[in-house]
A = this chain, B = another copy of it.
Amino acid sequence: VNLSEVEVVRRIRRHAGKPAGLVLGIGDDCAVFRPRHGEDLVFTTDLFIEDVHFERGWPAPALGRRTLARGLSDIAAMGADPRFCLLSLALPERPGTRWLDGYFRGFLEWGVPLAGGDLSRSSKLTADIVVCGSVPKGKALRRDGARAGDAIFVSGRLGGAAAGGFQADPQPRLALGRYLRGRATACMDLSDGLSTDLHRLAEASRLAAEISAPPIAEDATPEQALHGGEDYELLFTANPDLNIRTQFRGLPLTRIGTMRKGKPGTVFLDGRPLPPLGYDHFARSVARR
């Protein structure tokens, strides 16, 4: 059964369920959200495009699940709690009920209320999401808060996505992000590779970074652990006197180095400059996504 636009919206609305925390969800010109007193809101958007980020053959639930995963990783990196999301979806043809139901089953597995969105045609399946999260006022984990002498940590082991060709099912580190609120001085998620992302964090904090080799995922090479993207682990800094756990709910937290005064954005691996060799969407040499 292929559906009209009105039928699609009706079906999405049914999937979205009762929009907790929202004054008004799907079906009006805008969604309406009532902030709590004393909270900051954080926002991220993330594109997910056929033949760029995924291929047509993916099962609908995996596509739905993956649509929201990277945005949630950004929310985790700010130490925020996801509150609601919006979805813009462009489809090559009228979707069937089976595909649509599968897609939204995957999408809503994360438990984030869907507040609204837009629907269109397009030659390639294209999804763009917005996730809104909240943190207590002034407590968002930014990239620019690291101080000279801060210890540098990563969660998990790196390079697994690069070793496997791509990351099929990212696990946003939401609980870890909450734990780091008030503990980390700076934080971001590892989406484009450690060398590139640490360069960015150091540049934002106007510092240099000195590291040793990070923990490496099974089957990954040291190069993949340094430059491979899509690991979606957290990279963060903290005062070295602060007692950061070595494990958080089974996930290793490993100190890999120290922030130093120096040329902003420079990263040294075992004393040698480490160039940012991570992902550029417009660099032709990289065909990964």
Q: B residues within 8 A CB of A133?
A: 30
User: Does A28 contact B142, Cβ atoms closer than 8 Å?
Assistant: yes
A40 interface contact, C-beta 8 A: yes
Q: How many copies does the complex hold?
A: 2
Chain B proximity of A248: nearest CB distance (Å): 19
Which of A55-63, A111-119, A158-166 is the interface stretch? A111-119
Distance between Cα atoms of A34 and B23 in the complex (Å) = 19
Check B281 against A45 for contact (C-beta < 8 Å). no
- Asked if residues B281 and A29 are in contact (CB atoms below 8 Å), the reply is no
Expressed in whole angstroms, the minimum distance between the Cβ of A105 and any Cβ of chain B is: 21
- Give every chain B residue within 8 A of A39 (Cβ-Cβ): 35
Give the segment of A75-83, A219-227, A239-247, A254-262 that binds chain B: A75-83
Give the complex CA separation of A88 and B70 in angstroms: 14
Contact A282 B45 (CB under 8 A): no
- Shortest CB-to-CB span from A77 to chain B, Å, is 4
Q: Cβ of A43 and Cβ of B140 under 8 Å apart?
A: no
With A47-B88, A47-B90 already in contact, the answer to whether A32 and B41 are too (CB < 8 A) is yes
Stretch of A124-132, A149-157, A209-217, A266-274 contacting B (4+ beta carbons < 8 Å)? A124-132
Q: How far is the CA of A143 from the CA of B32 in the complex (A)?
A: 12
Alpha-carbon separation in the docked complex, A2 to B281 (Å): 13
**Contact call B120/A122, Cβ cutoff below 8 A:** no
Q: Which residues of B contact A74 (CB under 8 A)?
A: 29-30
Q: Which residue of B lies closest to A115 (CB)?
A: B43
Q: Are A124 and B123 in touch, CB under 8 angstroms?
A: yes
Using A47-B119, A120-B281 as known contacts, list a sample of 11 further A-B pairs with CB atoms less than 8 Å apart, ordered by residue number in A: A4-B283, A30-B43, A32-B41, A33-B43, A35-B35, A35-B41, A45-B118, A52-B121, A52-B122, A53-B120, A88-B88
